[in-house]
Structure 1
């Protein structure tokens, strides 16, 4: 993947540094006038820092991953993200008479965001569905990777539960069944570029914030509870929407190969949500009762960001506008 196009002074300065050999530098400053979750420059800078822990960029020396000055800059960016999440996501109370599984279920039930999946099932046109898939490619082409950071930090039943979920995400060791590979087939079926990071320049801050929050929780051991809660909410809100995505893609002419990603999640995530809520999160809270609030907060972050994403997409579509940033990438991919 190539470094993306800068979106402001922060990313312009950062990318100029990253194209050179690793060296100490003073973190560039940028005004914090825009709320962190909607700040294009901040979210792209943080995404770039995190991507060095995944697959990196062709023109960036791998030694940048642990360069102290870059980590110091990332810490500043993370503080803004963390504060932005705290303002956007109230910390849910955890009634002591409820199991964590029940508390998670109540959070999910109380979520009242717009139903993007219902719109995609019944009304979206082909170009809107392609836009949705381009957004989701930022995460789905690395599906499960951010949550895998939790495996070495767990023990006993919670660890076994997470490994059970992740094994399915990675296709049980069969590359053609990996969920990231199934998503590539969906992209190809829609005439989209299925290469890793192809739409990074097109997606807005809210799409990057969803991915960044997962990486933020995953890369910091102090946020282990939040990472587990995030995954639980992810699984508990997956099965029904994926059924609707498949319905919508079938309506628009998508073949079986293009729909397989969604069909696989209908079945798999119906099982995963039970494992995630009961065995993984429930087991973790039994071992660490003081961290129950962290689990619920991580779930609330996942639900809130998904709601903000749906609002962004639907607001643009209601106005007849694209929910993606304007470049020539989509046209060039056809």
Structure 2
């Protein structure tokens, strides 16, 4: 993707660093670490800080597709990794403080699954899917897709980091789920490709990162949380719990999302992405709860707390982002940092 526009001194510094060869910015890199520490100390909420969430997104993106014009050796620069770890520590601490975990009383994989189904079945806030199905305007549908695009255009990639960290039943379950996410080996059926098709159907740019400058911190925080869990082996329980929560809260909302687009006259080329998830995730939720999360618990019982943490964090951050978007729409404002181009 192309470099985003800076949102503050941190992102301005980082983009300036990444635009240079790795052997010409030693002083700037050293100063960047100090800037990060100062910003962490000053911010009221890591997850809602646009500058911090943008640089965390950029630092993670070095491990995914990278940036046009950036030296790929920046991926493993120890100073940038140290800065990232400082943000991760504060971000993780904030997430752990924000969630309330269920009792750690599970004895079997089925027990773990039942707790996760209970967590994901609770009504905790405004329903984005119901609003999209019944009320969202065409402009709000476009905003909805843009908000989702920062993850959906590379759907499954953050969770795939967990595969080499798992074994046995949990690993087999993860591979089964991810194989479907990647279209069963058929490029045009990859879920990221289906989402790109939906975006094109509404006249939107389907290039990853095409709307990064419009996406607010809380939306970036949701994607950054996945990368935090997926890239740190010690948090393999959290990424498993996160995926389980995602799969368990996907089928019915996607049915409603599809209905919302059909309400505006869009056909199956646009709704295919949502319709695919209705069927696939009805199966995935059982695999994710019983074989993935439950299987990991049976193999490594000490990870139960992190499995629940990942699930609870997924639901919490999604709620924060949903509340922000719905509040903007209900007040007649855009949920994006900048309005959509008129050409859309």
TM band (smaller chain)? over 0.9
- Which residue in the other structure is 1:90 paired with? 100
For the residues of structure 2 that align with 1:226 and 1:101, how far apart are their CA atoms?
Answer: 14
> Is the aligned partner of 1:278 residue 2:283?
no
- Which residue in the other structure is 1:228 paired with? 240
How much does 1:97 deviate?
5.8
For the residue of structure 1 that corresponds to 2:212, the secondary structure is coil
Q: 5 Å matches for 1:71-220?
A: 71-96=81-106, 99-220=111-232
Q: In the alignment, which of 333, 337, 341 is matched to residue 321 of structure 1?
A: 333
- Which residue in the other structure is 2:265 paired with? 253
Q: 5 Å matches for 1:259-298?
A: 259-298=271-310
For the residues of structure 1 that align with 2:101 and 2:7, how far apart are their CA atoms?
Answer: 31
Tell me the number of residue pairs that the alignment of Structure 1 and Structure 2 aligns. 332
Q: In the TM superposition, what whole-angstrom CA distance separates every residue of 1:248-289 from its partner, at most 9, and x where no partner exists?
A: 000011111000000000000000000000011111101111
How much does 1:110 deviate?
2.4
**Mind listing any 5+ residue stretches in structure 1 that lack a counterpart?**
none
- Which residue in the other structure is 1:4 paired with? 4
For the residue of structure 1 that corresponds to 2:214, the secondary structure is coil
For the residues of structure 1 that align with 2:89 and 2:237, how far apart are their CA atoms?
Answer: 18
Contact 1:113 1:307 (C-alpha < 8 Å) held by counterparts:
yes
How much does 1:93 deviate?
2.5
Contact 2:106 2:112 (C-alpha < 8 Å) held by counterparts:
no
Q: In the TM superposition, what whole-angstrom CA distance separates every residue of 1:182-225 from its partner, at most 9, and x where no partner exists?
A: 00110011111111111111000011000000000000000000
How much does 1:230 deviate?
0.1
- Which residue in the other structure is 1:50 paired with? 60
Q: 5 Å matches for 1:54-65?
A: 54-65=64-75
- Which residue in the other structure is 2:249 paired with? 237
Q: In the TM superposition, what whole-angstrom CA distance separates every residue of 1:52-108 from its partner, at most 9, and x where no partner exists?
A: 000010121100000111111111111221122123223332224671001101111
Contact 1:94 1:103 (C-alpha < 8 Å) held by counterparts:
no
For the residues of structure 2 that align with 1:155 and 1:289, how far apart are their CA atoms?
Answer: 14
Q: In the alignment, which of 68, 71, 79 is matched to residue 78 of structure 2?
A: 68
For the residues of structure 2 that align with 1:97 and 1:75, how far apart are their CA atoms?
Answer: 34
For the residues of structure 1 that align with 2:151 and 2:193, how far apart are their CA atoms?
Answer: 12
For the residues of structure 2 that align with 1:33 and 1:306, how far apart are their CA atoms?
Answer: 21
- Greater shift, 89-98 or 239-248, is seen at 89-98
Change beyond 3 A, Cα 1:100–1:250: same
- Greater shift, 17-26 or 293-302, is seen at 17-26
How much does 1:111 deviate?
4.2
How much does 1:326 deviate?
1.4
For the residue of structure 2 that corresponds to 1:227, the secondary structure is helix
- Greater shift, 74-83 or 280-289, is seen at 74-83
Change beyond 3 A, Cα 1:332–1:61: farther
For the residues of structure 2 that align with 1:258 and 1:145, how far apart are their CA atoms?
Answer: 23
> Is the aligned partner of 1:305 residue 2:298?
no
Contact 2:96 2:309 (C-alpha < 8 Å) held by counterparts:
no
Compute the RMSD of aligned alpha carbons.
1.3
